[in-house]
Amino acid sequence: MTDLTYECLQKMDDLILQSAKGVHVLFEKQDIILALQEQGKEDEHNLEKLKKIQEILYKFISLERFAEKRDFLKTLSRDEYTLLIRAYFKIVENSMLNQSAHRH
């Protein structure tokens, strides 16, 4: 794997901040709902799934342009896409919790 650039991380952070404000530009609303509804039905702590999530997320973050990210989403299987949505929103949730903790 190649190293993630500062620009890639900054752009991802910008997308996460938008999502924290309720603006979800990467994923379709219905896909988000379905992925998050299915979340409790599977074992998310399966080691193979965790490795797969890490691999997909790393590739996703490494893409610099928004259009590249959207194109990448189209290459994922349904399971991979669902895993990415769940991981992404877990990051959004943690980001919101961290921001809230810094304010107090």
Parse the chain into domains and list their residue ranges: 6-103
pLDDT tens sequence for the chain (104 residues): 667 888 888 888 998 999 988 898 889 999 999 999 877 666 556 788 888 889 999 999 999 888 999 999 999 999 999 999 999 999 999 988 887 665 55
Predicted local distance difference test score (pLDDT) of residue 46: 79
Complete DSSP assignment for the chain: -PPPPHHHHHHHHHHHHHHHTT---SS-HHHHHHHHHSGGGS-TT-HHHHHHHHHHHHHHHH--SHHHHHHHHHHS-HHHHHHHHHHHHHHHHHHHHHHHHHH-
Cβ contact 28:78 at 8 Å: no
pTM: 0.81
